[in-house]
């Protein structure tokens, strides 16, 4: 049987809504569940803080809510946590003015031209306290880019030590377009070779033909050292998922993102996680092709080329998710769900690895 708990429920703790889950397991064995705590409403802009809860028993119970990052009454969001080999936890995230709505940023309105900015902070005590945040925007955001977002979900430290954070951005339009059209959505990743002290851009994928348009992206390191990227596809190609591989730690892609028709899904964020024992690449996301519902874990044994359904959670509304290896026998799924809508709770489900193989 699976165990299910609800670390975040809309309306609790003075937050109107909780969105954008991310989860990691620390070196000490704690699970840290992050998300956006949206104070005034469920909107993607406004007063938003990054909050977290800690579990010391594999997600069966959760401690009190704490704030990991805040930006006054403005926005701190899109948490991208990663646990380093040193035990330090990095938290890369986005900051913006509370009034900076996505549509305005996509359209390049002057007051929002520099709205989305990138910051990093760290914890050396298992997420109990956090360092003063440090801005890295100039290192990882090109002039002219409009929208900008990290992940959502967890980031990675690769086997050789490099830190990799999937991300996405939008381009200024050409002709009479406004910039809000899907073909201007693009992707990239952030890289650090010194455990988060310095940062630089990895691959940049920008194609405005409208066939595949990269949006929210998740990544996993495969056993052979390649990095697998899976993205929400806003283009007109078959299916709403696309994927790509890198054989140089994210600095470039072997080929551009291509449609992944083996993953039936609505337009939505998803998560991937590579298990090493057994050798299994996992994908979590809603599986209804037309709506955000039917949260499902799928599995691949060939590095993401083909996929099969491994575990269907239920038929309820469901949206964003993140995956974590809890222990040798268990995978954890942190996901948005509810009875009447996908954003009522952020729920954690323990799934036995034996159910996935």
Domain-wise residue ranges, the chain? 70-317
| Percent of the chain surpassing pLDDT 90 | 95
pLDDT at 142 over 80: yes
pLDDT at 224 over 80: yes
DSSP 71-131: -TTSEEEEEEEEE-TTS-EEEEEEEE-TT--HHHHHTT-GGGTT--EEEEEEESSTTSS-P
Report the pLDDT averaged over residues 33-46.
Answer: 96
Confidence of residue 1 (pLDDT cuts 50, 70, 90): very low
Contact 76, 50 (CB under 8 A): yes
User: From residue 167, how far is each of 104, 128, 245, 313 by CA, in Å?
Assistant: 20, 26, 15, 27
pLDDT at 336 over 70: yes
Phi, psi of 137, rounded to the nearest 5 degrees: -55, -45
Residue 352's H or E segment, with its range, is: strand 345-352
Confidence of residue 168 (pLDDT cuts 50, 70, 90): very high
**What tokens does 246 get?**
């890198």
Q: Domain spanning 70-317 has what CATH number?
A: 2.120.10.10
pLDDT at residue 239 in the model: 82
pLDDT in tens, 58-82: 999 999 999 999 999 999 999 999 9
**What tokens does 288 get?**
């209804």
Q: How far apart are CA 128 and CA 53, in angstroms?
A: 10
Confidence of residue 223 (pLDDT cuts 50, 70, 90): very high
Q: How far apart are CA 174 and CA 47, in angstroms?
A: 33
Is the Cα dihedral 301, 303, 306, 308 positive or negative? positive
**What tokens does 52 get?**
């977290």
pLDDT in tens, 8-35: 999 999 999 999 999 999 999 999 999 9
Report the pLDDT averaged over residues 245-251.
Answer: 98
């Amino acid at each position: 049987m699976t165990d299910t708990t609800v670390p975040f429920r809309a309306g609790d703790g003075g937050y109107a809504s909780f969105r954008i889950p991310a989860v990691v397991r620390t070196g000490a064995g704690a699970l840290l569940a992050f998300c956006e705590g949206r104070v005034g409403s469920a909107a993607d802009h406004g007063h938003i803080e990054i909050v977290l809860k800690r579990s010391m028993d594999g997600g069966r119970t959760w401690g009190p809510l704490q704030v990991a990052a805040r930006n006054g009454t403005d926005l701190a969001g899109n948490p991208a946590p990663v646990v380093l080999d040193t035990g330090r936890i990095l938290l890369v995230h986005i900051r913006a003015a509370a009034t900076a709505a996505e549509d305005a940023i996509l359209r390049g309105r002057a007051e929002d031209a520099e709205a989305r900015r990138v910051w990093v902070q760290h914890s050396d005590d298992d997420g109990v306290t956090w360092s003063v945040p440090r801005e890295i925007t100039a290192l990882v955001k090109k002039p002219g880019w409009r929208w900008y977002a990290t992940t959502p979900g967890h980031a990675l430290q690769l086997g050789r030590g490099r830190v990799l954070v999937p991300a996405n951005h939008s381009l200024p339009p050409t002709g009479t377009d406004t910039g809000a059209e899907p073909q201007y959505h693009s992707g990239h990743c952030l890289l650090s070779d010194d455990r988060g002290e310095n940062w630089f851009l990895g691959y940049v994928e920008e194609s405005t033909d409208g066939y595949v348009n990269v949006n929210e992206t998740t990544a996993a390191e495969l056993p052979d050292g390649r990095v697998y990227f899976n993205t929400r596809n806003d283009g007109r190609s078959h299916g709403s998922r696309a994927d790509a591989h890198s054989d140089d730690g994210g600095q470039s892609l072997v080929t551009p993102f291509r449609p992944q028709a083996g993953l039936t899904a609505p337009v939505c964020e998803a998560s991937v996680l590579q298990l090493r024992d057994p050798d299994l690449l996992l994908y979590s996301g809603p599986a209804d092709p037309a709506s955000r519902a039917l949260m499902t874990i799928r599995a691949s044994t060939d590095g993401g080329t083909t996929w099969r359904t491994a575990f269907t959670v239920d038929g309820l509304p469901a949206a964003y998710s993140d995956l974590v290896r809890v222990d040798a026998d268990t995978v954890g799924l942190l996901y948005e769900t509810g009875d009447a809508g996908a954003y009522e709770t952020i729920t954690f489900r323990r799934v036995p690895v034996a159910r996935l193989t």
